[in-house]
C-alpha cells in the first residue's frame, strides 16, 4: 500500500509502460507480469499476439472474448465484367482472374480497400474475416487483456491496434508486454507508451539485440531505461553497453534458480515470496520516478 | 497442347526450379510445334502472393499442363478452376521431364503444401 | 541439398546456440540466419572478412510531392494504415506505409508516387569452401517474409554443391517463420521446459505441420524443470514426433557464446549433449522415406 500512496501523493498521471527486449527469452513477460501484479490495481496487455504468455501466469477469470477481423473483398459476379483492373492494381497479388471468375486470396490480402475503389462496375464490396481474438479477464485486481493471432495468419498488427485502442482512456496503470524483435508489431505496441522498459540479458546475443531496440525507442522518442536480468558475477556486456551509452539502468535482477523455476511453472514471483515483492516494488518505484522526471521536464 | 515448367535458365537443358512462385522463368513448350518460349516470372520479386501471380501468368499463357516438383495451395487454387493438370517432375532437367510426360511416365501431383500463409492450418 | 531449419516458437530457447554447434559439427558448407529481425548467428561464426552486402528492397512506399499537393485530404482519408498525417504539409510515415498505392490512385493531381524503398540488407559471406547467408531487416518493416526468402535463395545459389544446409530460424509463428518453412526438408524444434515454452512449442508445431517436412523436437536447458521436460517428452510420444534428445542448462554455454565460440568449441556439458542431438537429427534428415 505504501507505494500506492507515494504515487498519488506526487499526483502522477496514469502511465503506460511498454516492456520490450529485442531478443526473445530475456524476461519481458517476467518483468511485465510481476510489475502489473505488484501494482495491484493495473492493466496488463499482452501484445505478443503470436505467442502470448502472460495469461498463463495470471490465469484470468471471467474471460470475455471478442473476435478480431479484417476486411476482405468479395465480388458480385453479376456486376463483374472481367476488366481485371483490380487484379492489376493489387500490390499484394491477392486477386486472380480465371475462367471468367474473380478469385480472392484472403490470407494474402492486406485489406487496403484499393480494389473496391478501382472497380469501374462497383462489383466489389467487403466482408469480415476473423484473424484472431482479444480476451479480457481479471486476476485479483489486475485487468488482463490478451491478444491471440490465429495460426497461419501473417500479421498481428490489427489485434494489437484493438488491444491498445480499448485502453487509451484507461484510468489505471498499464503494463504492455511487447513481442520480441523490432519489426512492425513491436512498433505498433510501443506507439502510445509513455515509457519503455528494455529488458537485457548478459550475453553477446542479448547486447546485439538490445542495440536494436535502443535504436527503435530513440527513433520513436520514447523515454526509456534498462533492466538487467539474469545477472551473474562475471562482467556483464549489457551493463557495459548501458554505461558506454549513458543509458539509465533501472535495476538488476540476479540470475536466480528459484526465480527461474517459479517462472518456468508460470507462477507470479511477487505473490510467492516477499523478497521478489520487494525487488519488483523497488523496480516499480524507480520506473515511476523516471516517468515523473520525464513528465516534469517535458511539460 | 502446351506444357509449362518453372526453370532456372532460359534453355531446354535447364534445371527445373524448386520453387514455382519464385522461379525466374517459365518454359512454355508446345508439344505439336515443338516450340519453346521462355517467360520472365514477374511474380518472383513480389513481397507476397507470388504463387497466385505466377499461376495467373501460366493461365494467361494458355498452358494446359504444368510440370513442377511442388506447388502451394494458393497457386493450386488458381490453376484448378482453369482446369490445368499438374504433374510432379521426377528428374532435374526440364527436357527430361517433358519427354517423360509425353511418354506418359509422370504422376499427378497429389501433395499440396500450405505455402506462405498456412491456408488450411487451424 | 537437404535443408535443416531450426525453430522454437518461443524466443530465447537456444536456436542460435544449437544451430552454431550443428554447423561446427557438420563442418557445414552452407548455412543461413533467417532471423532477419534480430540476426545473431554472425556473432559466433568465424569469418575474417566483410560480407558482400546488397540492398534489400521491400514494398514501394508512397511519397507526396509537396509542390503538387493541394491538401484535399483524400489520401489521408483513404489510407487504411494511418500512414498519412499533416505536419505543416502532408507526409507519409514510411514505417506505417504498406505500399498498397491507394493514395497514388486517389490523388486528383498525381502528387503521390510509389518509390522503391530499401527495407534492409542481404549479406553473403563466402570463401572457396563454404557460404553463410544472412540479412538484416530495417526497423519496423513488414516485409520480413520476402527477405527470409531472399536469404535462403542467396544461400542456395552460392552453395550449389553443398549436401547439407543448416538454417537458424526466428521466434514466433508469423510471416518470417512461414517463409523460412517453405521448401525445407526437416524442422528441429528447440523446446524450453516452461509453461510458456510448452504453449509456444505447440503453436509452432501446429504451424510447421502444414508443410511437407519432417519435424523433430529436442529440449534445451531441460534440467531447469524436470517435470515440464517429462511433459514435453510425453507430448512427443503421444503425437508421434521424434524426440532427438535433451541438453542441460550450462553456464559454460554462456561463457562460450560470450567469447564468440560455439558450445562444441570448449569442453562443457551442453556441448557433449548437443552432439547426440546432432547425430540423431542428421540421421533422421538423411533417412529414406516420408516425413
Structural domain spans, chain A? 11-68+131-298, 77-122
- Quote the pLDDT of residue B111: 58
CATH topology (fold) of A77-122: Alpha-Beta Plaits (3.30.70)
Q: Which of A163, A55, A146, A179 is nearest to C173 (CA)?
A: A179
C contact residues 140-179, partner A, Cβ 8 Å cutoff: 140-142, 144-145, 170-175, 178
Q: Per CATH, is C2-56+120-286 categorized as 1.10.10.60?
A: no
Strand ranges across the sheet with C30-33? C52-57, C118-126, C131-137, C30-33, C164-168, C2-7, C186-191, C214-220, C243-247
Neighbours of A89 (CB within 10 A): 18
Q: In angstroms, what separates the C-alpha of A62 from chain B's closest C-alpha?
A: 25
Domain boundaries, chain B: 2-102
- Quote the pLDDT of residue C139: 77
DSSP-derived secondary structure letter, A92? T
Is the pLDDT at A299 greater than 70, yes or no?
no
Q: Using the beta-carbon criterion (under 8 Å), do B117 and A92 form an inter-chain contact?
A: no
Q: Which residues of chain C have pLDDT under 50?
A: 290-291
Residues of chain B neighbouring C159 (CB-CB closer than 8 A): none
Q: Using the beta-carbon criterion (under 8 Å), do C179 and B116 form an inter-chain contact?
A: yes
Helix axes A274-298, A2-9, angle to 10 degrees: 0
Q: Which residues pair with A225 in a beta bridge?
A: A197
Q: State the sign of the Cα–Cα–Cα–Cα dihedral C184, C186, C191, C196.
A: positive
Q: What is the pLDDT of residues A139-151, one digit of tens each?
A: 999 999 999 999 8
Q: What is the pLDDT of residues A177-222, one digit of tens each?
A: 999 887 788 989 999 899 999 999 998 888 888 988 999 999 899 9
Higher pLDDT, A60 or C175: A60
Please give the C-alpha separations between residue A94 and each of A275, B4, C144, C232, C240, in angstroms, as whole numbers: 55, 22, 18, 39, 36
**SS3 assignment, position B86:** strand
Tell me if B96 sits within 8 A of B118, measured CB to CB.
no
In this complex, which of C99, C146, C178 lies closest to B118 when CB atoms are compared? C178
**SS3 assignment, position A90:** coil
Neighbours of B38 (CB within 10 A): 16
Q: In angstroms, what separates the C-alpha of B53 from chain A's closest C-alpha?
A: 6
Q: In angstroms, what separates the C-alpha of A274 from chain C's closest C-alpha?
A: 22
Give the phi and the psi of residue A267 in degrees, each rounded to 5: -100, 145
CA–CA distance, A271 with B96 (Å, rounded to integer): 69
Please give the C-alpha separations between residue C244 and each of C32, C185, C279, in angstroms, as whole numbers: 22, 16, 9
- Tell me whether A150 touches chain B (CB under 8 Å): yes
Is the pLDDT at B39 greater than 60, yes or no?
yes
pLDDT band at A82 (very low <50, low <70, confident <90, very high): very high
Best C154, C156, C182, C203 residue to mutate vs chain B (most B CBs within 10 Å): C182
Q: Using the beta-carbon criterion (under 8 Å), do C179 and B22 form an inter-chain contact?
A: no
Q: In angstroms, what separates the C-alpha of B15 from chain C's closest C-alpha?
A: 12
Mean pLDDT along residues A43-53: 93
DSSP-derived secondary structure letter, C286? H
Q: Which residues pair with A46 in a beta bridge?
A: A146, A177
CA–CA distance, C179 with C32 (Å, rounded to integer): 13
Torsion of CA B60, B65, B71, B72, to 10 degrees: 40
Give the phi and the psi of residue B111 in degrees, each rounded to 5: -85, 115
**SS3 assignment, position B75:** helix
Strand ranges across the sheet with A61-75? A61-75, A124-139, A142-149, A42-46, A173-177, A16-20, A195-200, A224-231, A249-254
ipTM score for this prediction = 0.79
Q: What is the pTM of this model?
A: 0.79
- Tell me whether C85 touches chain A (CB under 8 Å): no
Q: Using the beta-carbon criterion (under 8 Å), do A154 and C9 form an inter-chain contact?
A: no
Q: How far is CA A189 from the centre of its chain?
A: 4
- Tell me whether B32 touches chain A (CB under 8 Å): no
Residues of chain B neighbouring C149 (CB-CB closer than 8 A): 22
CA–CA distance, C59 with C142 (Å, rounded to integer): 9
Residues of chain C neighbouring B115 (CB-CB closer than 8 A): 182
Which chains are adjacent to chain A, needing at least 3 Cβ pairs under 8 Å?
Answer: B, C
In the A/C pair of chains, how many CB contacts fall below 8 A? 169
Just give the CATH number of B2-102.
3.30.420.130
CA–CA distance, A6 with A282 (Å, rounded to integer): 12
Q: Using the beta-carbon criterion (under 8 Å), do C211 and B114 form an inter-chain contact?
A: yes
Give the CA angle between residues C39, A247, A270 to the nearest 5°: 85
Q: Using the beta-carbon criterion (under 8 Å), do A99 and B47 form an inter-chain contact?
A: no
CA atoms within 13 Å, Cβ hemisphere of A247: 29
pLDDT band at B110 (very low <50, low <70, confident <90, very high): confident
Q: Using the beta-carbon criterion (under 8 Å), do B52 and A96 form an inter-chain contact?
A: yes
Q: Which of C36, C172, A67, C175 is nearest to B117 (CA)?
A: C175
CA–CA distance, C148 with C144 (Å, rounded to integer): 6
Residue A3 parent element (H or E): helix A2-9
Neighbours of B62 (CB within 10 A): 12
CA–CA distance, A221 with A216 (Å, rounded to integer): 9
CA–CA distance, C150 with A123 (Å, rounded to integer): 37
Task: Return the exposure string of A226-238: e unless at least 16 CB atoms fall within 10 Å of the residue's CB, then b.
Answer: bbbbbbeeeebbb
CATH topology (fold) of A11-68+131-298: Rossmann fold (3.40.50)
Just give the CATH number of C59-116.
3.30.70.20
Average pLDDT, chain A: 89
pLDDT band at A2 (very low <50, low <70, confident <90, very high): very low
Which chains are adjacent to chain C, needing at least 3 Cβ pairs under 8 Å?
Answer: A, B
C243: which residues sit within 8 A by CB, 6+ positions away? C216, C217, C218, C233, C236, C237
CA–CA distance, B94 with B96 (Å, rounded to integer): 6
Q: Which of C211, C201, C216 is nearest to C284 (CA)?
A: C216
Hey, which of A43-52, A103-112, C171-180 has the most confident mean pLDDT? A43-52
The DSSP-derived string for A152-209 is T----HHHHHHHHHHTTT-SSEEEEEPPSSSSHHHHHHHTT-SEEEEEE-SSHHHHHH
Residues of chain A neighbouring B47 (CB-CB closer than 8 A): 92
Q: Using the beta-carbon criterion (under 8 Å), do B117 and C178 form an inter-chain contact?
A: yes
- Quote the pLDDT of residue A6: 36
- Quote the pLDDT of residue C146: 85
Neighbours of C160 (CB within 10 A): 10
CA–CA distance, C234 with C249 (Å, rounded to integer): 20
Q: Using the beta-carbon criterion (under 8 Å), do C228 and A215 form an inter-chain contact?
A: no
- Tell me whether C43 touches chain A (CB under 8 Å): yes
- Give me the percent of chain A exceeding a pLDDT of 70: 94
Q: Which residue of B has its CA nearest to A101?
A: B81
- Give me the percent of chain B exceeding a pLDDT of 70: 90
Q: Using the beta-carbon criterion (under 8 Å), do A98 and B56 form an inter-chain contact?
A: yes
Q: What is the pLDDT of residues A253-289, one digit of tens each?
A: 999 989 988 988 999 999 999 999 999 999 999 998 9
- Quote the pLDDT of residue C206: 84
Residues of chain C neighbouring B70 (CB-CB closer than 8 A): 183, 212
Q: Using the beta-carbon criterion (under 8 Å), do B47 and C59 form an inter-chain contact?
A: yes
Helix axes C195-208, C226-238, angle to 10 degrees: 20
Residues of chain C neighbouring A56 (CB-CB closer than 8 A): 195-196, 199
Tell me if C5 sits within 8 A of C186, measured CB to CB.
yes
- Tell me whether A39 touches chain B (CB under 8 Å): no
Q: In angstroms, what separates the C-alpha of A59 from chain C's closest C-alpha?
A: 12
Q: Using the beta-carbon criterion (under 8 Å), do A108 and B78 form an inter-chain contact?
A: no
| Range C233-242, long-range pairs (CB < 8 A, 24+ positions) | C235/C198, C235/C202, C239/C205, C241/C205, C241/C215, C241/C216, C241/C217, C242/C214, C242/C215, C242/C216, C242/C217, C242/C280, C242/C284
Residues of chain B neighbouring C97 (CB-CB closer than 8 A): none
- Quote the pLDDT of residue A166: 82
Q: Which of A33, A79, A31 is nearest to A56 (CA)?
A: A33
Higher pLDDT, A125 or A166: A125
Q: Using the beta-carbon criterion (under 8 Å), do A151 and B122 form an inter-chain contact?
A: yes
Amino acid at each position: 500500500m505504501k507505494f500506492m500512496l507515494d504515487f498519488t501523493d506526487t499526483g502522477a498521471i496514469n502511465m503506460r509502460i511498454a516492456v520490450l527486449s529485442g531478443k526473445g527469452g530475456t524476461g519481458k513477460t517476467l518483468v511485465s507480469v510481476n510489475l502489473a501484479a505488484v501494482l495491484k490495481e493495473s492493466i496488463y496487455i499482452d501484445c505478443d499476439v503470436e505467442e502470448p504468455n502472460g495469461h498463463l501466469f495470471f490465469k484470468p477469470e471471467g474471460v470475455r472474448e471478442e473476435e478480431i477481423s479484417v476486411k476482405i473483398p468479395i465480388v458480385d459476379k453479376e456486376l463483374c465484367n472481367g476488366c481485371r483492373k483490380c487484379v492489376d492494381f493489387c500490390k499484394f497479388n491477392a486477386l486472380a482472374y480465371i475462367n471468367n471468375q474473380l478469385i480472392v486470396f484472403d490470407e494474402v490480402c492486406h485489406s487496403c480497400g484499393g480494389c473496391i475503389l478501382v472497380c469501374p462496375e462497383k462489383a466489389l464490396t467487403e466482408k469480415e474475416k476473423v484473424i484472431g481474438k482479444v480476451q479480457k479477464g481479471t486476476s485479483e485486481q489486475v485487468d488482463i487483456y490478451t491478444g491471440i493471432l490465429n495460426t497461419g495468419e501473417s500479421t498481428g498488427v490489427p489485434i494489437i491496434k484493438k488491444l491498445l485502442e480499448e485502453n487509451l482512456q484507461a484510468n489505471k496503470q498499464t503494463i504492455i508486454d511487447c513481442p520480441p524483435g523490432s519489426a512492425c508489431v513491436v512498433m505498433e505496441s510501443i506507439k502510445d507508451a509513455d515509457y519503455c522498459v528494455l529488458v537485457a540479458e548478459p550475453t553477446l546475443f542479448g547486447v546485439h539485440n538490445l542495440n536494436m531496440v535502443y535504436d527503435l525507442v530513440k527513433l520513436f522518442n520514447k523515454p526509456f531505461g534498462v533492466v538487467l536480468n539474469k545477472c551473474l558475477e562475471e562482467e556483464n556486456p549489457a551493463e557495459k553497453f548501458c554505461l558506454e551509452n549513458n543509458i539509465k539502468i533501472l535495476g538488476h535482477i540476479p540470475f536466480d534458480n528459484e526465480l527461474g523455476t517459479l517462472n518456468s511453472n508460470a507462477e507470479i514471483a511477487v505473490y510467492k515470496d516477499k523478497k521478489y515483492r520487494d525487488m519488483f516494488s523497488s523496480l516499480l518505484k524507480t520506473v515511476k520516478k523516471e516517468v515523473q522526471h520525464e513528465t516534469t521536464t517535458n511539460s | 497442347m502446351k506444357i509449362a515448367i518453372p526453370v532456372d535458365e532460359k534453355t531446354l537443358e535447364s534445371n527445373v526450379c524448386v520453387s514455382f512462385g519464385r522461379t525466374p522463368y517459365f518454359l512454355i513448350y508446345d508439344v505439336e510445334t515443338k516450340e519453346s518460349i521462355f517467360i520472365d516470372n514477374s511474380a518472383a520479386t513480389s513481397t507476397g502472393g507470388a504463387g497466385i501471380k505466377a499461376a495467373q501468368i501460366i493461365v494467361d499463357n494458355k498452358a494446359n499442363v504444368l510440370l513442377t516438383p511442388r506447388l502451394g495451395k494458393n497457386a493450386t487454387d488458381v490453376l484448378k478452376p482453369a482446369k490445368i493438370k499438374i504433374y510432379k517432375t521426377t528428374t532435374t532437367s526440364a527436357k527430361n521431364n517433358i519427354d517423360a510426360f509425353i511418354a506418359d511416365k509422370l504422376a499427378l501431383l497429389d501433395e499440396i503444401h500450405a505455402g506462405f500463409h498456412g491456408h488450411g492450418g487451424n | 541439398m537437404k535443408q535443416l531449419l531450426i525453430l522454437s516458437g518461443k524466443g530465447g530457447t537456444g536456436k542460435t546456440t544449437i544451430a552454431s554447434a550443428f554447423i561446427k559439427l557438420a563442418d557445414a558448407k552452407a548455412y543461413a540466419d533467417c532471423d532477419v529481425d534480430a540476426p545473431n548467428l554472425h556473432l559466433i561464426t568465424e569469418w575474417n572478412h566483410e560480407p558482400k552486402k546488397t540492398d534489400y528492397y521491400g514494398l514501394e512506399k508512397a511519397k507526396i510531392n509537396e509542390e503538387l499537393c493541394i491538401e484535399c485530404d483524400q489520401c489521408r482519408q483513404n489510407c487504411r494504415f494511418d500512414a498519412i498525417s499533416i505536419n505543416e504539409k502532408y507526409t507519409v510515415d514510411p514505417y506505417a506505409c504498406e505500399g498498397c498505392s491507394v493514395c497514388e490512385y486517389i490523388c486528383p493531381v498525381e502528387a503521390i508516387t510509389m518509390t522503391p524503398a530499401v527495407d534492409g540488407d542481404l549479406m553473403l559471406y563466402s570463401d572457396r569452401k563454404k557460404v553463410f547467408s544472412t540479412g538484416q531487416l530495417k526497423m519496423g518493416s513488414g516485409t520480413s517474409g520476402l527477405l527470409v526468402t531472399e536469404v535462403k535463395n542467396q544461400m542456395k545459389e552460392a552453395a550449389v554443391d553443398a549436401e547439407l544446409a543448416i538454417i537458424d530460424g526466428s521466434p514466433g509463428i508469423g510471416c518470417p517463420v512461414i517463409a523460412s518453412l517453405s521448401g525445407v526438408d526437416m524442422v528441429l524444434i528447440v523446446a524450453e521446459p516452461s509453461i510458456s515454452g510448452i504453449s509456444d512449442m505447440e503453436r509452432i508445431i501446429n504451424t510447421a505441420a502444414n508443410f511437407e517436412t519432417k519435424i523433430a523436437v529436442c529440449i534445451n536447458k531441460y534440467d531447469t524443470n524436470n517435470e515440464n521436460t517429462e511433459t514435453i517428452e510425453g507430448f512427443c510420444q503421444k503425437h508421434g514426433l521424434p524426440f532427438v534428445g535433451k541438453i542441460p542448462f550450462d553456464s559454460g554455454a554462456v561463457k562460450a557464446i560470450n567469447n564468440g565460440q560455439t558450445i562444441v568449441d570448449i569442453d562443457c556439458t551442453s556441448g557433449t549433449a548437443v552432439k547426440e542431438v546432432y547425430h540423431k537429427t542428421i540421421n533422421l534428415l538423411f533417412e529414406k522415406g516420408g516425413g
